[in-house]
Amino acid sequence: MEVNIGLLGCGTVGSGVVELVQKRSEMIARLTGLEPIITRVLVRDSHKSRPVVFKHEQLTTNASDILEDPEIRMVIETIGGIEPARTFILQALRAGKHVITANKDLIAEHGAEILDTAEQVGMDVYYEAAVGGAIPLIRPLKESLTANEITDLKGIINGTTNYILSKMTATGADFDEVLQEAQDLGYAESNPASDVDGLDSGRKLAILASIAFHAKVTLDDVDVTGIRTISATDVAYAHELGAVIKLLAEGTDRDGNLSLQVRPTLVLKDHPLAHVSDAFNALYVRGDAAGDLMFFGRGAGSLPTASAIVGDMIEVLRNLRMDTALRVRHLLLPHKRVRRGQGEPTRYYLRLTVRDQSGVFAQIATIFGLAEVSMETVLQKRSSHETAEIVIVTHEVGQEQLNQALTTLYATDSVLTVHNVMPVTGGAQ
């Protein structure tokens, strides 16, 4: 039996979906007893040439042709962005269609509205492709690991910044130069803010944390620092310290108190995340029963993303075949609280420019001592005849103590600049 599917959007991801469904439709039919047919495709321009070939009547520029077609049982949204994707998805659900989306922005921002609507109307929404591309993350968290209380998430979940940081590490080039190159190659968007300012990672972390910690989490709950301030100098110091700089997304749940952070981090080379390069993504998960787990793979791209979407599609076909819906529920535990600005104690890397005069270092040491922040490593280099550069790695310290030391540092005349403050992870921890 055939199942009619409507596709909203036919860019990189949408084309991948069409290609993969065509290639695997026979196998999917044997697996599920139902044959998926993409009957209608919403496009902006029906005359544009595309990597996949459609019959003329398949293409439409009018969303109603899909959303109001009673024959269409399932809608796949690959438009991206908030509107009109949000309106289309809500309309599709209310019209009795199951929805699959790769739209991380939408799920991070309006996930609760969409999932609540789906539950009210008895339809399913799947969004494996929204985080980590091809890597199965959402489903393992929602299904395989459900017996666990998950306490920690830690990962590299944005390919663009990981590409930029990997290139900076490999070539020693500065941020702006590598960003330009990434834009020229199409790895970074012309407006790269969402990626390089850490917002994309923050949204994906919000999605993962909602599921793993059974809490309502949005981007507003995440402390986000991007990578614009990371310079070739920091990359070189990281190397000297046996580390690489990665944009890590971290979530912790300590007895219902959640902390969510996206920030550039020095990852020591003995940590597996140090070896996740270029456009790859990886997520560490710690569960109280399972222990430590890691999931690694391609975080973006046409076919990797399509792999996750068509995986979800097969899930919907199984549901249709079994005549069930809302099989996997969202569990929200009301006692969970997000505490912003309350990251776990960690070691920190700081780079300062100070006046090159006698007594400055003793002054800094005193500031750290008063704040009870002890230093593990200190590198000091003259940077000009009047200034010196000091890099400090602290022992493990709470965020409040560190902030106390930083406040005093900022107010100290001989400290000219505090360039970067980053956590350090890996090693004997």
Q: Which residues are catalytic?
A: 204
Residue closer to a copy of itself by CB (options 23, 340) is 23
Which member of 84, 272, 345, 427 binds a copy of itself (CB under 8 A)?
Answer: 272
Count of residues of this chain found to bind a copy of itself when the rule CB under 8 A is applied: 53
User: For residue 97, what are its two tokens?
Assistant: 């269609």
Instruction: Provide the 10 A C-beta neighbour count for residue 394.
Output: 24
383 token code pair: 């940077």
Residue number with CB closer to a copy of itself (130 or 199): 130
428 counts as binding a copy of itself under rule CB under 8 A: no
Rounded to 5°, angle at Cα 112 from 119 and 189: 125
Q: Is 334 in the site for a copy of itself (CB under 8 A)?
A: no
Which of 327/381 has CB closer to a copy of itself? 327
Q: Which of 74, 75, 206, 313 binds a copy of itself (CB under 8 A)?
A: 313
Binding positions for a copy of itself, 27-46, rule CB under 8 A: 27-28, 30-32
> According to the binding rule CB under 8 A, does residue 267 interact with a copy of itself?
no
Q: Are 208 and 131 spatial neighbours (Cβ–Cβ below 8 Å)? A: yes
State which amino acid sits at residue 421: V
Structure tokens at 344: 């776990």
∠ CA 306-248-129, nearest 5°, is 15
Let me know: does 284 contact 156? Beta carbons within 8 Å.
no
Residue 42 in contact with residue 61, Cβ under 8 Å?
yes
Which DSSP state fits 127? -
Measured CA to CA, the distance from residue 50 to residue 117 in angstroms comes to 34
Of 193, 236, 331, 365, the residue at the interface with a copy of itself (CB under 8 A) is 331
Query: Pick from 113, 220, 292, 386: which binds a copy of itself (CB under 8 A)?
Result: 292
In DSSP notation, 255-306 reads TTEEEEEEEEEEEETTSGGGG--TTEEEEEEEETTTEEEEEEEE--SHHHHH
117 in a known ligand binding site:
no
Residue 12 assigned ligand-binding role? yes
Does the protein bind a copy of itself through residue 170 (CB under 8 A)? no
Question: Per CB under 8 A, which of residues 356..375 are in contact with a copy of itself?
Answer: none
104 is in an annotated binding site: yes
Choose between 224 and 243: whose C-beta lies nearer to a copy of itself: 243
Please indicate if the annotation marks 8 as binding a ligand: yes
Contact call for residue 303 and a copy of itself (CB under 8 A): yes
Q: Which contiguous run of DSSP H or E holds residue 162? A: helix 159-171
For a copy of itself, what does the binding mask look like between residues 110 and 129, x meaning CB under 8 A? ------------------x-
Amino acid at 258: L
Structure token pair of residue 66: 């899909």
**Sites of contact with a copy of itself (CB under 8 A):** 16, 20, 24, 27-28, 30-32, 128, 134-136, 139-140, 143-149, 272, 275, 287-298, 301, 303-304, 306-308, 310-311, 313-315, 318, 322, 324, 327-329, 331
Instruction: Output the known binding site.
Output: 8-15, 104, 189
